[in-house]
Structure 1
Amino acid sequence: MAGGRFAPGHLGELTQLVPFEMVDEALIATRAVQARLRDLPSRVMVYLTLAACLFPETGYPGVWRKLTGALVGLPVAAPTASALAQARRRVGAKPLRWLFDLLRGPAADVGTAGVWWRELLVVALGGTILTVPDTSAVLTRFTKQAGNHGGTGYPQVRLLALVACGTRTLIDAVFGPTTSGETTYAPRLLPSLRAGMILLADRNFAAQKLVADIAATGADVLVRLKNSRTMPVLARYRDGSYLSTLGPARVRVIDCEITVTTTAGKHTCLCRLTTTLLDHHPHPAAELATLYHQRWEIETAYLELKSTILGGRVLRSRTPQGIDQEIYVLLVVYQLLRTDMADATSTRPGTDPDRAGFSIAWQAARDQIILAAGVIAGTVIDLTGTIGRHVLANLLPVRRLRVSPRIVERAISKYQARGPRIDRTSYKATTGIEILAPAGP
C-alpha cells in the first residue's frame, strides 16, 4: 500500500493495471496535481472515483469506507460528503480521459482465439444511451428525449464506441448530447482505425461518405444496407456476390437469405451486406455473412456497462463536468476488467475470451477493493491473479447459437406499453445462410 495520506488510494488488485505511477503521470500531464498536500490528494481521488464505479449502489462516503476498511492500523482521514465532492471537482475529467486513452485497445495478441478473422482484427461500431440526473445544470448541455408518449423523464447522453468483438474491449469511445446522431459522432472515432481491421456496422452507418472515410483509414468495412437500396451490378463473382459502388468507394455486395430454426418455428429474412474486401477468393461471401453476426458483441458490451456495472441506474453526477468525469471512469473501469479477463484467458491457449464471465470478474474486483488485496504485484508477474483465477474457475460453456426477440430495452412507461404480449424466451437455434445471386445476364 501507499503510505500516509495516500493509503486509501488503491483499486484492489486492479491497481496492478493502473498503478500509482500511471495515475501520477495522468495528473501531471493534465495539470491536476494538488497545490498543497492535504487529506485528499488528487491521486487518492482518482482511485476513489474508479472504485465508486464498482459500487454504484453506494454513495461516495460509503465507497471511502470500503477503501479504508482493511487499512487496519493506518491513520486515514474521515472526510465529509461535501469534502469528497469538492475534491472530485478539483480533479475533473481530464486525468480520467488521459487514463482511458492510455488503456484503450483490443487487449489481444495476433492469433488469439475468437478475436481475428483471416488475419483481420474484428471490430464493431455502435451506439447506446446513458441516463443522467434531471438537474438544471445538466439540462444546460443534455436534453430529454421527446416522444409520442411524453418522452423520457431524464436527460440522456449518447455514447458511441469501437469495440474489439473477440475480447469486447474498447478501442475508442466518444459521447455527447443526443441532439446529434450516431453518424455525427462516428467520424471522431476514425483515427483509431487502421489497416488490418475489419469494421462491422449496422444500416445506420451505411452513408456513402462515412464508408469512404473509413476505407481511407486502411481498415476494411462490412456494413449492412437496406434491402430496398439499389446497387449497380458491375461484375459478378462465383460466390454469388457482385462488384458495385457506394458513392466514391468500390464495394462488393452480398445478398443473402438467413433462416433461423428453433423449437418455436422457423424465421427467414433477407440481408444485404456490402464490404470493401473486393477479392472473393480469400474472403468468401458465405463467411462474410456469418462474420457479420459478430457485430452483436458490441451490444453485449453495452449490456455489461449499463446492466452489470450500473445496474440500470442513472449516473450520479449532477453537473455536466461531473458527468464527463463519471463516463470516463465507467469506460476505464470496464476496460480494466476486460483487460484482466483477456490476460487470464490468454494463460490457457485456445480458450476463447468470450468464455470469461464479466459478472464474475466484476464481483471479484469488488471483493479485492474491500480487502485492499493484491494492490502491488509480486516479484513474479502473475497474469492471472485472484480475479483471473475466479474467472478461469467459472468459465462459461462454449457459446451456442441462441435467439431472442429484439425489443425496446427500457420502456418509457410501463403504463403506456401497447401491443401483443412478447415471448421473451431465448431459444437454441440453427442458422442457414443462402447467398442470392443478382438477377440479370
Structure 2
Amino acid sequence: MTLSENLDCTLQHSLPSLSHFSELIDLNWIKESLHQTGKASIRRRKLPAEHVVWLVIGLALFRDQPIGYVVEQLKLVFGTTEYCVPSAAVQARQRLGREPLNTLFSLLSQAWFEESQQQYSNFHGLSVCAVDGVVWSMPYTDENFEHFGSSKGKTAAAPYPQVRATCLVNTSTHEIIDAQIGSMDQGELTLANRLCPPSHSITLFDRAYFSADFLIDWQTRVEASHWLMRAKDNLRYEIIKRNSPHDFQIKMPLSARARKLNPSLGEYWEARLIEVEQAGKIRRYITSLMDSKAYPLIGLAKLYAQRWEIEMCYREIKSDLQEGKHLRSKQPDLIYQELWGVFIAYNILRRQMKHMAQRAKVSPLRISFHIASIGILNILRFDSLDSAGNLPKHLESLLEKSKRYVLPERRVRSCPRVVKGKPQKYPRKCQSIS
C-alpha cells in the first residue's frame, strides 16, 4: 500500500462524525449551506466547519454554559483529545462567519414549513402566520455599539447596544419561517420588506405595518399570500361595495410620497374593511381577502387573535431558551451568527414538539415548551452520544411520553387595558392607624 493510500485510509477512520445529530438536522443541509457560502473545511482542524455550525447551535441550546463546555458536551473536537481551549472555539466561530448559519436557517425553515403547511393549513386552506419585531441586548463593546446602536428614549439612548429582528412565524406551530436581522436604526417595516411571504397563507400584522406599498407587494409577490390587520382609527377610505351592513369593499388614496417612492402604484388601492363588536366595542379590521362568502367577517375577527402567538414565540425564546439573558457575542459578525443559531435551535425544539403533539394527538401549542425543552436538552446534556443510534432511541422514548407534556386547554381570559399610574415624585405620608 502506497503512502497516499495509507494517508487516505487513516483520514477515513479519523474523520469526525456528526451522525448522532442527523435525527435533528440532516447533515446534507449543513454541507449544502457550507458549500453555498464557500466555508467548507479543506484543512482538517480540531473544529471543522461542520462542527462549528453545531457549536453555534449548541451555544443557543445551552445558554447558561461556557463555550468550552458546549464543545466538550457535544463531542465536537476532531482528534484523539476531547478538549480544546476556549480561544480556539472563538477563532473557529470567527472563521465560519454568519453566512453559513443564515443559509442553513433558510434551508431548514422552508423545508420544515412546507412539511407543516400540509398539516396545519387550518383557515380555509390557508396557513396562518404572523409578523412582528423583537429586540435583543448584547454585551457592550465599542464595535457592537457602533454597528448596532441602541434604542432611543425621550431623554437619552439606552446605555447598551441592541439588535433588532423581524420574524415571520407560523402561528399553528410557533416555527420561525423567515427572519431578518438589522441594526437599531432600521425599522421593523424596513426589515419586513425583506421577508419572503409564504404562498397560500394569511399573515397577521399589527397597525405599525400599515403601508400601501408594503401590503400590495406582500399580496402580489407570491400566489395567494394574504394579510389581515387592525384598521387605524383615522383611516381614509371610500366605500365601493357593501357586502353587508358591517362588511365593505373600500378604496384608499395613496399619498404623494408613496407614489414618488414607487411610481408603479396608482392613486388608489383596494381592500376589505369589516366591523365587529367585541367586548362592547366596535373593532375594525382590514384585509386582502375580498370574498365575503368564502371568508366571513366573524371568522376573520376571531382569527386576528392568533397574532398574539408570535409574542408567545418571542417569550419562549427569550425567557426559556435564552433564560432571560442577553446575547453573549462581543463582535457584530458573531452577533448575527449567534442569532441565526438561536433561530435554528428554537426551530429544532419546536419541530420535536410538533412530533410530540402528533403522537399525543393535540395541537403543537399545547405542548409545554418549558418542560419539553428541558426533556430534549437533558438528552443532549446527560445521555451518551458516542453511538449514532443513541439519540434517535432517546427521542423515541421521549415521544412515547408525549402526553406528560400536554398542557390543559387555554382558558378564555379578557384583561382590559389600563393606564399605568405615574410614579409619584415624593413618597406618600405614613398615615397612623390610631
Q: TM-score if structure 1 supplies the norm length?
A: 0.81
Query: For residues 165 and 277 of structure 2, what CA distance do their matches in structure 1 show?
Result: 32
* Counterpart-to-counterpart distance in 2, 1:405 and 1:388: 39
- The verdict on how the C-alpha distance between 1:151 and 1:360 changes in structure 2, with shifts beyond 3 A counting, is same
Whole-angstrom CA distance in 1 between matches of 2:309 and 2:290: 25
Q: Which residue number corresponds to residue 264 of structure 1? A: none
Equivalent of residue 228 in structure 1, options 234, 254, 265: 234
Correspondence for 2:81: 76
Q: 1:344 aligns with which of 348, 356, 379?
A: 356
SS in 2 for 1:6: coil
In 2, the alpha carbon distance for the partners of 1:283 and 1:198 equals: 12
Structure 1 stretches lacking a partner, 5+ long:
260-267, 409-416, 421-441
> For residues 81-128 of structure 1, what are the alpha-carbon distances to aligned partners after superposition, in whole Å with 9 as ceiling and x for unaligned?
111111111111121112101111436555746x52111111111111
Within the candidate set 42, 47, 55, 2:54 is matched to 47
- Residue number in structure 1 paired with 2:278: 258
AA at the equivalent of 2:99: K
2:367 equivalent to 1:356:
yes
1:26 is aligned with what amino acid? S
Q: Residue 326 of structure 2 aligns with which residue? A: 314
Q: Distance in 2 between matches of 1:405 and 1:5?
A: 60
Counterpart position of 2:338: 326
State how 1:29-44 maps to structure 2 within 5 Å: 29-44=36-51
Structure having greater relative contact order (Cα 8 Å, sep ≥ 6): 1
SS of residue matched to 1:278: coil
What does residue range 1-400 of structure 1 map to in structure 2 within 5 Å? 4=14, 6=16, 9=18, 15-68=22-75, 75-105=80-110, 106=113, 108-109=115-116, 112=119, 115-148=121-154, 150-189=156-195, 191-194=196-199, 196-217=200-221, 218=223, 219-238=225-244, 240-246=246-252, 247=254, 248-259=268-279, 268-349=280-361, 351-370=362-381, 371-373=383-385, 376=388, 385-400=396-411
Q: 1:353 to 1:339 in 2, by over 3 A?
A: same
Offset from partner CA, 1:217-269 (integer Å, 9 cap, x none) = 2311111121232322222122621110244432110122321xxxxxxxx44
Structure-1 separation of matches of 2:232 and 2:423: 26
Q: Deviations over 1:317-375 (max 9, x none)?
A: 111110111011011111111111112222344x2111111112321222121224497
Structure 1 stretch displaced more, 367-376 or 207-216: 367-376
Distance (Å, rounded) in 2 between the aligned partners of 1:373 and 1:337: 18
CA deviations over 1:395-431 (Å, ceiling 9, x no partner): 11122223446799xxxxxxxx9449xxxxxxxxxxx
Question: CA RMSD of the aligned region, Å?
Answer: 3.0
CA offset digits 1:188-224 (Å, max 9, x no partner): 11x3332x11111110111111111112123111111
Indicate if the aligned counterparts of 2:61 and 2:321 stay in contact, CA closer than 8 A: yes
Q: Distance in 2 between matches of 1:406 and 1:383?
A: 45
The aligned counterpart of 1:433 is none
* Partner SS, residue 237 of structure 1: strand
Taking a change above 3 Å as real, the CA distance of residues 404 and 178 of structure 1, as seen in their structure-2 partners, is: farther
Query: Structure 2: how far apart are the matches of 1:206 and 1:253?
Result: 14
User: CA contact under 8 A between 1:5 and 1:38: conserved in structure 2?
Assistant: no
Note closer, same or farther for the CA distance 1:128–1:403 as it changes in structure 2 (3 Å cut): farther
CA contact (8 A) 2:229 2:287 kept: yes
Q: Which amino acid aligns with 1:28?
A: H
SS in 1 for 2:335: helix
**Distance apart, 1:389 and its partner CA:** 4.0
Contact 2:105 2:344 in 1 (8 A): yes
- CA separation of 1:356 and 1:319: change in aligned 2, threshold 3 A: same
Deviation at 1:382, TM superposition (A): 8.4
Letter in 2 for 1:48: L
- The 1:385–1:76 alpha-carbon spacing in structure 2 relative to 1, beyond 3 Å, is farther
From the superposition, tell whether residues 369 and 348 of structure 1 become closer, same or farther in structure 2 (CA, over 3 Å).
closer
Work out the number of aligned pairs and report it: 393
1:75 offset after TM fit, Å?
3.7
Q: Measure, in 1, the Cα distance between the counterparts of 2:416 and 2:51.
A: 45
Change (3 A) 1:178 1:387: farther
Counterpart of 2:379 in structure 1: which amino acid?
Answer: Q
One-letter amino acid of the counterpart of residue 339, structure 2: I
The structure with the largest alpha-carbon Rg is: 2
Identity over aligned pairs, percent: 28
CA–CA separation in structure 2 for the residues paired with 1:270 and 1:154:
41
Whether the aligned pair in 1 keeps the contact of 2:127 and 2:201 (CA below 8 Å) is: yes
Q: Is the 8 A contact 1:233 1:243 kept in 2?
A: yes
Distance, in Å, in 2 between the alignment partners of 1:388 and 1:374 is 21
Q: Is the 8 A contact 2:127 2:170 kept in 1?
A: yes
Q: 3-state DSSP class of the match of 1:256?
A: strand
Q: 1:109 to 1:183 in 2, by over 3 A?
A: closer
Q: Is the 8 A contact 2:167 2:179 kept in 1?
A: yes
Instruction: Say if 1:192 and 1:278 are closer, same or farther in 2 by CA, change over 3 A.
Output: closer
**Residues 1:353 and 1:208: Cα distance change in structure 2 (over 3 Å):** same
Q: Check 1:391–1:155 CA distance in 2 against 1; reply closer, same or farther (3 A cut).
A: farther
